[in-house]
Structure 1
Amino acid sequence: MSGSHGGKLKGGLQSRHMTMISIAGVIGAALFVGSGKQIALAGPAVVLAYLAGGILVFLVMRMLGEMAIAQPDTGSFSTYADRAIGRWAGFTIGWLYWYFWAMLMGWEAYVAGQILHAWFAPIPDWGFALMLTIALIGANLMNVKNFGEFEFWFGLVKVTAIVLFLVIGSLAIVHLWPFGHARGIAQLTASGFMPKGPKSVVTALLGVMFAMIGAEVVTVAASESVNPGKEILKAIRSVVWRIVLFYVGSLFLVVCLVPYNDPALVDPTRGSYNVALDALGIPHAQLIVNCVVLTSVCSCFNSALYTASRMLYSLSRRGDAHRVMGITAASTGTPYVAVVISSVFAFVAVYMMAKSKMDLYDILMQTTGCVALFVYLTIACCQLRMRQRLEAQGIELELKMWLFPWLTWAVIVFVIGALITMAVEGTYRQEVLYTSALAAVIVAMGATAQRYGIGKRPPLAGYTQMATAERAVTR
């Protein structure tokens, strides 16, 4: 495969691709399966955790949109951290984000392997995981429009499933659904709305953040679309109804249909939607949910590989990763080396599945437990510093963060407070500590690279203008 060092991405994402990426980007398998754990943890008040998480995501996306529309870049917030805070910050958050998506691919391959093995027992779960990995690597090695097509159809299945659930669930809670034994809105307070206290809602927030991460992918993909600014603006403006409808709305229905202390909710072989569909008297509920979850994990794997490879490409372009990772195929414009390298943990997961050692992979996954909160904290800090610089350059901001800088500071304080609460409370202490330890190691590497000028540092668009603007502001 011929290619060139420092080649540019060719693009090819159409408006319909970007629309579906922005709509379905927040719908992952964690919504269909992992939400049961959060319901058991916080009770019906889990809707408050999802609402708080949704508001946080909306504010963060607004801040990210302000920067991304002004300066679209495939490195997104990693590039902005580099420009606004320093090389060490861009290096750290870029590699941490890459690690999150690279690790997640292995987990998605594992889930897909488990589902398919249950359907076709003669083939081992690791065999299906390997086939999925190879197939989606192949798709990502082609032109980016193939990624867009996969996400469009995968996303359409997820969105259709959620909408049908919302319609049927709404009929059930007003007692217009003729089957099953759903109790309705009375279920919200049957055992108390907040049976485990306010602290449980805050603790559930980490699981919520893990489920919602992905909304920012649209700002990465936008750089390969025809009109980046327009697509980002459209995605930012629609993020409210996406979060409210898909997460808050659907989880509200689940807690109305199923008692929060139902042990089936925390059964890893079932999940909250499966239990809710059983309550509605829908036959073959587990098969239906597994089909949707399989589509969701394939979508998430596809999106994770795309996002990780583009972040690696961006890091390479900035001299923070080996230049070989910036090679693009001459025919497709795809960073094929970055695609292959980003899939490494998927193959690690396949190996561990074959050796029955996925418990070790679980430990690795804990180091990604609160990456979303670190990403959101970085975006808020970047926006705080970049706003004044962009305005000093005379750039007319098409999208602005409200109540600047007070709302930005509120997000920063909220995220730091959530991390401290989670570490002190204990439920997610390991995830917070492991992710913080990993981040500290990467910070040390980034600080060393910045201090000693390690790695070739090519000039980046925007650096000269921003340096000039900063001097003007300082004066």
Structure 2
Amino acid sequence: MTLPQTPRDDSPARGSSSVTQGGNREHTPHVPPEPAQGNYLKPRHLVMMALGSAIGTGLFVGTGAAIKTAGPAVLISYLVACTLLVLVMRALGEMAAADPSSGAFSTYAGKALGPTVGRALGWLWWAQIVVVVAAEATAAAQLVTELWPGLPQWAWALIFMVGFTVVNLVRVGALGEAEFWFALLKVAAVVAFLVVGILFLLDVLPSPTPGLSNLTEHGGFMPNGLTGVASALLVVVFAFGGTELVTIAAAETEDPQTNVARAIRTILIRILVFYVGSVTVMVLVLPWNNEGLSASPFVAVLTEAGIPGADVLMTVVIILALLSALNANIYGSSRMLFSLARRGSAPRFLGDTTGRGVPRAAVVASVAFGFVAVVLNYLWPETVLNVMLNVVGSTCLVVWGVALVSQIILRRRADRAGEPSPLKMWAFPWLSYFALALLAAIVVLGLLDPSVRIQFIATFVLVCLIALACKLLIRGDDAAATRSATPAEDDAAPRL
């Protein structure tokens, strides 16, 4: 599938006229293009960056909360969430392989649904990730302070923010290499956990194995009923937020059409193995209502298996996971801001790059709130993390939903034009519709859950405010250019 391309540098200048078929002249507004930033990321960087964004605190910590909510039936929640993730990433991969862009889903939404939607989605995602960056620096600082209390929490947060800001300012290759090794350590930790868990269950280790008894005892496989499974599904889905980062990195990858498709295929398999495999080991090794499992599931399982120093070991792994996600999210947020600037949706200077292809102004703007969070860590070290996490809430559901709608529209355009694609959604359009139905069901579940409802409503209000601001600030020339790049038969597509 080949998506409508952004106007090139050699497009007519602002206010010029071009000759169309029949000799008539029409006004062709000029829109600043979004140029390729350079192929600085290798295929292995792309794969590990995506894995690094998926394997984070949602796996190492969040699984405990999900298990406590649903019991062993949390496996159903993970299978449903992983199915949704696979379909969303396949849809995003289809668009990214056909049209690599630093704006990724924001760019595709603009082409499919109009510039207001594209801008609003880009700004929404950027705002979410900027807050997540600050939250990750705060969480990592809290954990390091627990292990080494010599420095205050705010000082560690400052060290992390300065260090990874520098990494992102140097060159893209350095960033990719750092993320590769961070992600590799996380993957190695998960693989080691799976090996230890399997050996323990097979009664190879000295500690006695529970066999399969924990699946049926302590209230049965589904102790909290379908309500527990549904509530756990909300926890699990939120843990997968950020995996869309791989489509942003596509614009700076060698041979993106080939490597993005390859990365999407391999990433999905690995996420399924790591997440579902880890949770299966957890619910088999320990009773679902074990207090240690709900607090720190990896530590609880390794301790049960008789692994010494498991608590310190996993705390270090979680710190590395947070720092890996911090690094990747600074990258992702800066590239989204760069793309917004190149499309006229942010101050123009944010679209400038260095000779090495680094959008330094966008990087600095994207880490600014992280440094504000350092001050917040100094003032309110106990509460700042929870407040920031509640702000970003459920924005990933909005991103995924709009991405799926965009994929349906753009795929239909490409099919009508007979354009090939290196990666296609399976059973189109039915699986795309199925993914949208799953998302809708999750939203309904969230609205029925009092603990999540406020977060959903806050996200809805935030989306409306951002969309309204983008609508009021949108430039007429930009809107006209977007329409001119859209096939006439798609003029009926919804535009906000």
Residues 204-261 of structure 1: per-residue CA shift (max 9 Å, x gap)? 2222122212322111111101111111111221233212211000011011112211
Paired residue for 1:189? 216
Is 1:101–2:129 an aligned residue pair? yes
Paired residue for 1:242? 270
Paired residue for 1:30? 58
Q: Hey, what's the Cα distance between the residues in 2 that align with 1:37 and 1:471?
A: 46
Paired residue for 2:70? 42
CA shift, 1:424, in A, is: 1.1
Contact 1:51 1:248 survives alignment (8 Å): yes
Paired residue for 1:446? 470
Of the three residues 132, 135, 156, the one matched with 2:163 is: 135
Is 1:257–2:282 an aligned residue pair? no
Contact 2:96 2:247 survives alignment (8 Å): yes
Paired residue for 2:3? none
Alignment map for 1:73-472 (pairs within 5 Å): 73-179=101-207, 181-191=208-218, 192-267=220-295, 271-329=296-354, 331-356=355-380, 359-450=383-474, 453=475, 457=478, 464-467=484-487, 470=490
CA shift, 1:74, in A, is: 1.0
Residues 6-58 of structure 1: per-residue CA shift (max 9 Å, x gap)? 77523311122123223333101221112111111111111111111111011
Contact 1:6 1:323 survives alignment (8 Å): no
Contact 2:138 2:385 survives alignment (8 Å): no
Q: Hey, what's the Cα distance between the residues in 2 that align with 1:441 and 1:471?
A: 25
CA shift, 1:189, in A, is: 1.4
Gaps of 5+ in 2: 1-32
CA shift, 1:464, in A, is: 4.8
Which has the higher mean CA deviation after the structures are superposed, 288-297 or 197-206? 197-206
Contact 1:366 1:434 survives alignment (8 Å): no
Which has the higher mean CA deviation after the structures are superposed, 222-231 or 201-210? 201-210
Which has the higher mean CA deviation after the structures are superposed, 285-294 or 440-449? 440-449
Q: Hey, what's the Cα distance between the residues in 2 that align with 1:160 and 1:22?
A: 15
* CA separation of 1:23 and 1:355: change in aligned 2, threshold 3 A: closer
Contact 2:196 2:302 survives alignment (8 Å): no
CA shift, 1:392, in A, is: 3.1
* CA separation of 1:182 and 1:91: change in aligned 2, threshold 3 A: farther
CA shift, 1:65, in A, is: 1.6
| AA in 2 matched with 1:302 | N
CA shift, 1:108, in A, is: 1.0
CA shift, 1:203, in A, is: 1.7
Q: Hey, what's the Cα distance between the residues in 2 that align with 1:258 and 1:374?
A: 35
* CA separation of 1:165 and 1:305: change in aligned 2, threshold 3 A: same
* CA separation of 1:103 and 1:182: change in aligned 2, threshold 3 A: farther
| AA in 2 matched with 1:211 | A
TM-score, length of structure 2 as denominator length: 0.88
* CA separation of 1:163 and 1:183: change in aligned 2, threshold 3 A: same
Contact 1:102 1:305 survives alignment (8 Å): yes
Q: Hey, what's the Cα distance between the residues in 1 that align with 2:35 and 2:164?
A: 23
* CA separation of 1:83 and 1:341: change in aligned 2, threshold 3 A: same
* CA separation of 1:353 and 1:262: change in aligned 2, threshold 3 A: same
CA shift, 1:60, in A, is: 0.9
| AA in 2 matched with 1:139 | V
Q: Hey, what's the Cα distance between the residues in 2 that align with 1:6 and 1:389?
A: 22
Contact 1:117 1:123 survives alignment (8 Å): yes
* CA separation of 1:118 and 1:359: change in aligned 2, threshold 3 A: closer
Contact 2:115 2:479 survives alignment (8 Å): no
CA RMSD of aligned residues (A): 2.3
SS of aligned partner of 1:400:
coil
CA shift, 1:307, in A, is: 0.4
Gaps of 5+ in 1: none
Q: Hey, what's the Cα distance between the residues in 1 that align with 2:66 and 2:403?
A: 26
SS of aligned partner of 2:276:
helix
SS of aligned partner of 1:170:
helix
Contact 1:422 1:429 survives alignment (8 Å): yes
* CA separation of 1:199 and 1:16: change in aligned 2, threshold 3 A: same
* CA separation of 1:13 and 1:7: change in aligned 2, threshold 3 A: same
CA shift, 1:436, in A, is: 1.7
* CA separation of 1:182 and 1:89: change in aligned 2, threshold 3 A: farther
| AA in 2 matched with 1:377 | G
CA shift, 1:344, in A, is: 2.1
Of the three residues 48, 62, 76, the one matched with 1:20 is: 48
Contact 1:109 1:297 survives alignment (8 Å): yes
* CA separation of 1:426 and 1:235: change in aligned 2, threshold 3 A: same
Residues 112-145 of structure 1: per-residue CA shift (max 9 Å, x gap)? 1112222322210110110010000000001100
Contact 2:39 2:254 survives alignment (8 Å): yes
Contact 2:114 2:483 survives alignment (8 Å): no
**Identity %, equivalent residues:** 35
Contact 2:37 2:357 survives alignment (8 Å): yes
Contact 1:102 1:345 survives alignment (8 Å): yes
Q: Hey, what's the Cα distance between the residues in 2 that align with 1:214 and 1:42?
A: 24
